Amino acid sequence: MVLSRTSQYAVQALIYIATQAPGEPVLNRDIADRLNVPAAYLAKILQSLCKHGLLDSFRGRLGGFCLRDGMQKTSLMQVLLLTEGPDFTKSCILGLKECTDETACPMHFKWKPVKNKIIAMMNDMHLEDLAKAVQTGKYRLADLPAAAMPAA
Amino acid sequence: MVLSRTSQYAVQALIYIATQAPGEPVLNRDIADRLNVPAAYLAKILQSLCKHGLLDSFRGRLGGFCLRDGMQKTSLMQVLLLTEGPDFTKSCILGLKECTDETACPMHFKWKPVKNKIIAMMNDMHLEDLAKAVQTGKYRLADLPAAAMPAA
DNA sequence: TATAATTCGGACAAAAACCTCTTTAAGGAA
DNA sequence: TTCCTTAAAGAGGTTTTTGTCCGAATTATA
């Protein structure tokens, strides 16, 4: 409804890494297993987050990914601007290239405050806080594995 | 950010048809020209809206599409449930299959009220009203054609 | 040094979304 | 009837997103 799979995987992975001991690299494979997400695809996403400065990566034994120093405070908006592109906040809900208060589509003035709520929400959530929430055990980062699901 | 192209085209077309004299079929070609949207693709979308009972279609001379009787009051939510699928309102922003108050992802309780605003908004907007808004001339259903754009 | 573990980079594959083309069927008008 | 106009239907193409695979580079450790 709102985020691409790529964005969802990126956010999940970043939160997961943020729950782990800082400075201790986390294996791509471990993240993928934990989130139940395709490992090779996740690796591409993590590589891209490295290039954009959110993560550090280390090769070889004891390698893996960890949050770059200071990036615990990254907001989800910062992440989404990378994964969804810089126009993430600018889009018209009907897809018009130009849709401003002056040149508005018929949904513009209803949509605008809602969109602003989404933006505020994404600006307001930080990896740090989300990681802490997960650490309380009250929230899930991924679906339960099929093995733990009630038989169908 | 929120709606597929297909949904955008469907909503635009429905609003446009609702601005036209009721009972007078509108040509697919005219809608496509007006909205600056691929005609053959739009035709598929309109066909599907016919099958779902929102539109009536007529073949041959004086043919075209018009809103089915009573469908002026259709809400955008009704349209989107067809074009985005029945899970449109149910999705977790992180993509979890199960994400309820009891089994929540770490964004759930921030996202839920925002999502509810989107749903309320879509339930609250009806073709009739959007068509009237367009008829005032204050709102645009489509981008201006390139010919009308300032030279680059 | 050799080995195993890991990310990196590029090419490739599959699926979904988006879009086109062609033929057929139907309906109105000359 | 014949012609023109229109939507219907189905096959197929393109692009984007999602996902896989493999070889190369890098690193700790035995």
Q: Strands (DSSP E) along chain A, which ranges?
A: 55-58, 64-67
Smallest CA-to-CA distance from B31 within B22, B106, B2, B18 is with B18
Q: Which nucleotides of D are covered by protein (CB under 7 A)?
A: 4-10, 17-22, 25-29
Q: Give me the pLDDT at residue B146, please.
A: 60
The whole-number pLDDT of residue A151 equals 45
pLDDT for the residue numbered B91: 86
- CA-based nearest distance B24→chain A, Å: 23
* Predicted local distance difference test score (pLDDT) of residue A149: 46
Q: In this structure, is the CB of residue B61 within 7 Å of any atom belonging to strand C?
A: yes
**Spatial distance from the CA of B59 to the C1' of D5 (Å):** 8
Among the partner residues A91, A117, A133, nearest to B1 by beta-carbon distance: A91
To the nearest whole Å, the CA of A54 is away from the closest chain B CA by 19
Residue keyed to tokens 């309380």:
A136
User: Looking at residue B1, what is its pLDDT?
Assistant: 80
Q: Give me the average pLDDT of each 10-residue run along chain A (152 residues).
A: 95 98 96 98 98 97 96 98 95 95 97 97 98 98 70 41
**DSSP 8-state class, residue A115:** H
pLDDT computed for residue A145 by the predictor? 72
What are the phi and psi torsion angles at B138 (to 5°)?
-85, -15
What's the pTM?
Answer: 0.94
Rounded Cα–Cα distance for residues B30 and A39 (Å): 48
pLDDT of residue A36: 97
User: Residue B63, CA: closest nucleotide via C1'?
Assistant: D6
Assess whether A95 (CB) lies less than 7 A from strand C.
Answer: no
B19 φ, ψ (degrees, to nearest 5): -80, -15
Predicted confidence at residue A152, as pLDDT, reads 37
> Hey, are the CB atoms on A121 and B106 less than 8 Å from each other?
no
Query: Cβ of B139 and A105 within 8 Å?
Result: yes
Could you tell me the distance in Å between the CA of residue B55 and the C1' of nucleotide C26? 18
Structure tokens at A47: 């590589």
Q: Which residues of chain B have pLDDT under 50?
A: 149-152
**pLDDT in the model for residue A148:** 52
